[in-house]
Amino acid sequence: MNKKLLTIAAAAMAAATLMTGCGSQGGQSGSNDNKTLIVGMEPTFPPFEFTEDDKYVGFDIDFAQAVCDKMGVKMEVKSLGFDALIPALRSGQIDMIASGMDATPERSQQVAFTTPYFHDGYCVVVRKDNDTIHGFADLKGRVAGSQVGTQGVDLATEAGATVKQYDANSQGWMELNSGTCDAVVINTSVALYYLHQGGDKDLKIAGDSKLAEDGIALALSKDKPETVEKVNKAIADLKADGTYANLYKKWFGVDPKE
């Protein structure tokens, strides 16, 4: 792992370590001020959300801020573990989730999803010297790492792998490089970003990606349909005025596919 990526991974792990403390800021309930929207996210998921120079940055950060600007409300970010986001939303600790979350039917039973704003897939990443894993079909009997609470865990399990779950994606890259797991199953966009940042020196994508059945969407409480409607209106406006396309190109280097 090169020095730049080691620094990124270390910073991400530090952010994960501080999640409990960060998550406690703002009290135990969501915003009572209708001019503030508390947005929950797990900030170790570049390029969607991560920390840089002690600041939260990424596509989801910019997108959620643009949504709040359209709605005329202030955004407050609350850092939580990915598997803690839906419970926090349901208990009122946060008002919205913006964390690269797939809008699956199972999650839709617990939260209200907006119009999808991104479509992704999942891929298998291995070390460059690995010549035995060529995709999902070769994960049977292997140790595969994936972030807890994500579809990557389900896909790795379905493929017959022994799944090693972790809180932050940065841990997966570190374990893959150190040889404590054989592969990592992760969002294709996140893998491509990491490899583009220099990770391709030691790692590679094995085989074809699997397109996610469900799009990535923002999540809100089922008890606040009026807020869901306002957020959907903001998303539509951002796509219509070109803001969404500009943010997409800023973080992914290409024009949006949708």
Please name the amino acid found at residue 30: G
Domains of the chain by range and CATH?
3-118+214-252 (3.40.190.10), 121-211 (3.40.190.10)
Give the span between the Cα atoms of 180 and 148, in whole angstroms. 17
Give the span between the Cα atoms of 66 and 235, in whole angstroms. 9
CA distances to 56, 187, 226 from 48, rounded to whole Å, are: 10, 11, 26
At residue 169, the pLDDT reads 85
Please name which of 64, 69, 70 lies closest in space to residue 237, comparing C-alpha atoms. Answer: 70
At residue 242, the pLDDT reads 97
At residue 133, the pLDDT reads 98
At residue 254, the pLDDT reads 76
Which helix (DSSP H) or strand (DSSP E) does residue 85 occupy? helix 85-90
At residue 122, the pLDDT reads 95
**Size (the chain), residues:** 258
At residue 18, the pLDDT reads 40
Ordered mean pLDDT values, 10 residues apiece, the chain (258 residues): 44 42 40 79 92 95 98 97 96 97 95 96 96 98 95 96 93 94 95 90 95 93 96 98 95 78
The edge-to-edge listing of strands for the beta sheet with 183-187 is 162-166, 143-147, 183-187, 121-127, 203-211
Please name which of 27, 19, 243, 256 lies closest in space to residue 120, comparing C-alpha atoms. Answer: 256
At residue 1, the pLDDT reads 45
**Cβ(159)–Cβ(148) below 8 Å:** no
